[in-house]
Amino acid sequence: MSHTPIPSDLDSPIPLRRTRRGSGRTTLADVARVAGVSAQTVSRVLNSPETVPVATLEHVRAAIAQVRYVPNRLAGGLASGRSKLVAALVPAIASPVFQETIQALTQSLASKGYQLMLGESGYDDADEIQLLENLISRGPDGIVLTRVVQSELARQRLASSGIPVVETWDLTDTPVDMLIGFSHEDVGSAVADILLDRGCQAPALISGDDPRARRRRTGFVNRLIARGCIGRESDLPVVEISAPAHFGDGRRAFVALMDKGCHVDGLHCSTDALALGALIEARERNIAVPDQLAVVGFGDQVTSAYTSPALTTVRIDGRRMGQLAAQLILERAEGKPVSARIQNVGFEVVQRASA
Amino acid sequence: MSHTPIPSDLDSPIPLRRTRRGSGRTTLADVARVAGVSAQTVSRVLNSPETVPVATLEHVRAAIAQVRYVPNRLAGGLASGRSKLVAALVPAIASPVFQETIQALTQSLASKGYQLMLGESGYDDADEIQLLENLISRGPDGIVLTRVVQSELARQRLASSGIPVVETWDLTDTPVDMLIGFSHEDVGSAVADILLDRGCQAPALISGDDPRARRRRTGFVNRLIARGCIGRESDLPVVEISAPAHFGDGRRAFVALMDKGCHVDGLHCSTDALALGALIEARERNIAVPDQLAVVGFGDQVTSAYTSPALTTVRIDGRRMGQLAAQLILERAEGKPVSARIQNVGFEVVQRASA
DNA sequence: CTGAAAGCGCTAACAT
DNA sequence: ATGTTAGCGCTTTCAG
């Protein structure tokens, strides 16, 4: 109850209750003491230098350097409500598909002193919520998802957290908050057009089983039907591969397709990795690409331009999505008006030798 | 000055100084109120459930669920000194080389409720320190570096931070703290042996320019000299590529090598990506691999097993390094004895068709 | 322009 | 087994 009962000259022998030992690390207060100013002034030097006269600025900065002060942003974040942390949730970290996005995010954020926290959700939604809660509990200033949120519970948690959310790599009519993506259905249609335009009559599909690959498949099938190439969905030979799909899967899938005895003159693979596998297997079987078989991938991996024949594919600008997502979150975090909550970045058909 | 001057029954009209508005989010105290217990008990339910009787446990958990409480780990971390955050610093996020390590780290940490913060250092050390300070300021419980720390200043900062540090993907006699890696020199020697053992007489090298690639080069050259294949370093035709090296660079480098008019019957490329490029270009030029030219890569990317001919290469267990790094940090964080501060995980030569 | 006080939401230390 | 109290290190608010 008593505040330092009586200011005596003697060292108080009365045990001053208990005390928690500080971490021992240098704090703002230490800097303030050395510089002969208040902690507040040091804080201002760090966070709003424009409000401090140059003389003070330099003096305090010298003190900071002298004591090798490293701020504690956990404390800063707690006090200010801004952590300068951004969370990103990716289905698979090792998938080349999302790397440009992750890299662009990291770089765009780092340039403003923000840091990325990375979480891996996997392709099923089992612990999506747990992961999200763990991320939210760290008070990020924004959350970037490289897909549309699946479960209703997760959507609610995100919405009620009040944290800016950007969903990417997809479109939806009901985004949680902000959205930067492209239409997977349209990609499917565009690929169908490539094959039909070059005269293919017997198309086939090797597809992943994640929701987005499924939607590309839908777009592909619908366009084939619309243009009279096939009568109904079941007319299209399809091999489905469970995500994450690799090179070897494409090779095996192509074998499976051939074993079915299908005649195929146009093949769409739902990732470039699968397409490369198909390409290799076709060569082994002396099937000429593109003359006997046209092949179209998706994703435009770095390697795809250098295969022989070079792979015709669909290029997605993952880097741009990462940059835009970072921009939206930074704008929100700094209270600026947000450029555009919903953006369709589209895609680009890359015509190469394989189709 | 005054503490609630006179406890009166009336609502004090005296303005109670100022007050900061809480974030509005549900706090421990809210849960405590609903459950009719103290905040401390709720904290114990969350952090050391084994010390709480089952009845209380269930009661409090019900309250937590009811008010949809999400803990604030910024506050928790500040109070306890443990953030359950681990920082990782990678030269290039998009490089396939480090993906397995990042993924393994993320997964191993997530299983214990820890979260990964990712930083990209680039291949030069310009802002290594700034990045490190930014990461350190977030109070991580551990820092994983996918290389040996370069600058002395960075080493000091790391050491004085008191945070457990694991350097990976390399060996050194003077680790900052813990170390999990393999010898790049030994990799170079091993590759030289592969080529020499199959009778190559005119080896060449396409190499990256980062410090580790340079050390593989040294090991390669020294073994060639030791076995009498070349007389001195300058006898070896070398094309150096600046990191990050891609597929296309390998192709161009091989062109450069041929343009020099070198006769080459054995080629080592310091990454698989470079080797794949060389393989493609060799095919274009009707150079038979491995009969006229043996090719050995480094890294064993997923695609390397499926090229034609399949690539002989050196496999590094990035996943294992990530798991071990996570394990060491978790052990330290939980005050357990640490398994082994320094571990050489070695590497494996993967003999395939190209050599 | 600078400083003092209060408190962000939580856990450690002590007390019961 | 549970509660009380005092901070963790910082920023916000208000007062000069």
The predicted-structure confidence for B41-81, as pLDDT tens digits, reads as follows 999 999 999 999 999 999 999 999 999 999 999 999 999 99
Q: Residue A348 phi/psi, 5° resolution?
A: -140, 130
Task: Quote the pLDDT of residue A19.
Answer: 63
Q: Mutate which of A108, A109, A115 to test chain B, going by most B C-beta atoms within 10 A? A: A115
CA distances from B307 to A310, B275, B281 (A): 14, 10, 13
CA distance A58 to A56: 5
Please provide the DSSP assignment of B55-86 as one string. HHHHHHHHHHHHTT----HHHHHHHHS---EE
**Who has greater pLDDT, A352 or A283?**
A352
B78/A83 touch (CB, cutoff 8 Å), yes or no: no
Q: Residue B306 is nearest to which of A115, A118, A277, comparing CB atoms?
A: A277
Decide if pLDDT at B15 tops 60: no
Task: Quote the pLDDT of residue A11.
Answer: 39
B68 interfaces chain A, CB cutoff of 8 Å: yes
Angle between helices A39-47 and A54-66 (to 10 degrees): 100
Note the pLDDT tens digit of each residue in A77-126: 999 999 999 999 998 898 888 999 999 999 999 999 999 999 998 776 76
User: Which residue's C-alpha is at the least distance from the C1' of C8?
Assistant: A79
Query: B97 exposed, middle or buried (CB, 10 Å; 0-12, 13-18, 19+)?
Result: buried
Q: Are strands A115-120 and B115-120 parallel, antiparallel or unpaired?
A: antiparallel
A103/B110 touch (CB, cutoff 8 Å), yes or no: no
Task: Quote the pLDDT of residue B3.
Answer: 36
Structure tokens at A332: 């929100």
B302/A247 touch (CB, cutoff 8 Å), yes or no: yes
Decide if pLDDT at B181 tops 60: yes
Q: What part of B 262-321 touches A (C-beta under 8 Å)? A: 273, 276-277, 280, 283-284, 302-303, 305-308
Contact B279, B307 (CB under 8 A): yes
Decide if pLDDT at A10 tops 70: no
* Residue appearing with tokens 């393989």: B279
Q: Looking at strand D, which nucleotides approach a protein CB closer than 7 A?
A: 1-14
Angle between helices B184-197 and B211-226 (to 10 degrees): 40
Q: Which amino acid is at B284?
A: E
* Residue appearing with tokens 């003070």: A56
Q: Which amino acid is at B224?
A: L
A161/B70 touch (CB, cutoff 8 Å), yes or no: yes
Residue B19: pLDDT band (50, 70, 90) is low
Residue B18: pLDDT band (50, 70, 90) is low
The percentage of residues in chain A with a pLDDT greater than 90, rounded to a whole number, is 77
Give the other-Cβ count within 10 Å of A189's Cβ. 20
Task: Quote the pLDDT of residue A12.
Answer: 39
Task: Quote the pLDDT of residue B21.
Answer: 64
Q: What part of A 98-127 touches B (C-beta under 8 Å)? A: 99-100, 102-103, 106-107, 110, 113, 115-120
| Residues of chain B positioned with their CB less than 8 A from the CB of A132 | none
Q: Are strands A313-315 and B115-120 parallel, antiparallel or unpaired?
A: unpaired
- Among candidate residues A178, A127, A182, the one with its CA nearest the CA of residue A151: A127
| Residues of chain A positioned with their CB less than 8 A from the CB of B138 | 73-74, 85, 115
| Residues of chain A positioned with their CB less than 8 A from the CB of B251 | 306
Please tell me whether any atom of strand C lies within 7 Å of the Cβ of B79.
yes
| Residues of chain A positioned with their CB less than 8 A from the CB of B115 | 117, 119, 134-135, 138
Q: Residue A93 is nearest to which of B81, B99, B302, comparing CB atoms?
A: B99
Stretch A38-67: mean pLDDT: 94
Q: In what order do the strands lie in the sheet with B165-168?
A: A342-344, A178-181, A165-168, A142-145, A85-90, A115-120, B115-120, B85-90, B142-145, B165-168, B178-181, B342-344
Task: Quote the pLDDT of residue A262.
Answer: 86
B280/A102 touch (CB, cutoff 8 Å), yes or no: no
Residue of chain A nearest B80, judged by CA positions: A23
B120/A99 touch (CB, cutoff 8 Å), yes or no: no
Q: Residue B106 is nearest to which of A96, A110, A118, comparing CB atoms?
A: A118
Residue B84: pLDDT band (50, 70, 90) is very high
Sign of CA dihedral A243, A245, A251, A254: positive
| Residues of chain B positioned with their CB less than 8 A from the CB of A119 | 106, 110, 115-116
Note the pLDDT tens digit of each residue in B110-169: 999 999 999 998 776 777 888 999 999 999 999 999 988 878 889 999 999 999 999 999
Residue ranges with strand state E in A219-299:
238-241, 266-269, 294-296
CA distance B228 to B201: 10
CA angle, corner A15, sides to A11 and A21, nearest 5?
Answer: 100
Decide if pLDDT at A7 tops 80: no
| 3-state SS assignment for residue B294 | strand
**Which residues 279-338 of chain A have a CB under 7 Å from nucleic chain C?**
none
- Among candidate residues A153, A154, A180, the one with its CA nearest the CA of residue A169: A180
Stretch A12-21: mean pLDDT: 50
Mean pLDDT of chain A: 90
Question: Nearest nucleotide to B44 by CA–C1' distance?
Answer: C11
CA distance A190 to A289: 20
Residue B4: pLDDT band (50, 70, 90) is very low
Stretch B237-256: mean pLDDT: 92
Decide if pLDDT at A255 tops 80: yes
Structure-derived torsion over alpha carbons of residues B137, B140, B145, B148, reported in degrees to the nearest 10: 60
Question: Nearest nucleotide to B77 by CA–C1' distance?
Answer: C10
CA distances from A237 to A225, A263, A286, A294 (A): 14, 9, 21, 15
Residue B337: pLDDT band (50, 70, 90) is confident
Structure tokens at A85: 């942390």
Note the pLDDT tens digit of each residue in B260-271: 988 999 999 999
Q: Mutate which of B303, B311, B319 to test chain A, going by most A C-beta atoms within 10 A? A: B303
Q: Residue B106 is nearest to which of A70, A93, A100, comparing CB atoms?
A: A93
- Rounded to whole angstroms, the distance from the CA of residue B37 to the C1' of nucleotide D2 is 8
B85/A284 touch (CB, cutoff 8 Å), yes or no: no
Q: Are strands B203-208 and B238-241 parallel, antiparallel or unpaired?
A: parallel
Give the other-Cβ count within 10 Å of B4's Cβ. 9
Question: Nearest nucleotide to B53 by CA–C1' distance?
Answer: D1
Q: Residue A74 is nearest to which of B117, B139, B306, comparing CB atoms?
A: B139
Lowest mean pLDDT among A52-56, A183-187, B72-76: A52-56
CA distance A282 to A237: 17
CA distance B150 to B128: 9
